Structure 1
Amino acid sequence: MAGIREHMEVIGADGVHIGTVDGVEGGRIKLTRKDSDAGFEGGTHSGHHHYLSTGLVAEIEGDKVRLSANGDVAWGMLEEE
């Protein structure tokens, strides 16, 4: 999706931090590994990339990608590599 750049912050519609953009691949936002366990208890998802569909993007605000879903819903929509 045009306008999404590496290192942008991805936030939910409610402003909750979801992750940091590592890139865009095949219609999905690839999040950096450093944020891979940020929303999960116990860090069980650490060590690999997660992806979100660019279809969830509501708008781009400066260096932030705001999603159309709240943070808790977006966490449930993360895909693993």
Structure 2
Amino acid sequence: MSYRISDTYDAIDQAMRLLRRSMKGMPQRYRYMKHYDELRRQVAVLLILLEEATPWMEETARAKKATTVAKKMFEAAG
């Protein structure tokens, strides 16, 4: 499950790099810098939350797999 989170993390990082490059070539970019800075802060929070969620998602996937295995074993025994 964590590979999905890391793919999402990488895609967001790539999009933010593209946005930064686009902002550098924009005429009168000072008008949009406040919005850009706010977006960067919010995306940084999102990326931190994604990093924090990764171990939890791995545990959830392991728990689901263990439950599935236990159900199969129970059905086979019954």
TM band (smaller chain)? under 0.3
Q: TM-score of the superposition, structure 2-length normalised?
A: 0.22
Higher relative contact order (CA closer than 8 Å, sequence separation 6+): 2
The answer to which structure has the higher strand fraction is: 1
Q: TM-score of the superposition, structure 1-length normalised?
A: 0.21
The answer to which structure has the higher helix fraction is: 2
Higher Cα radius of gyration: 2
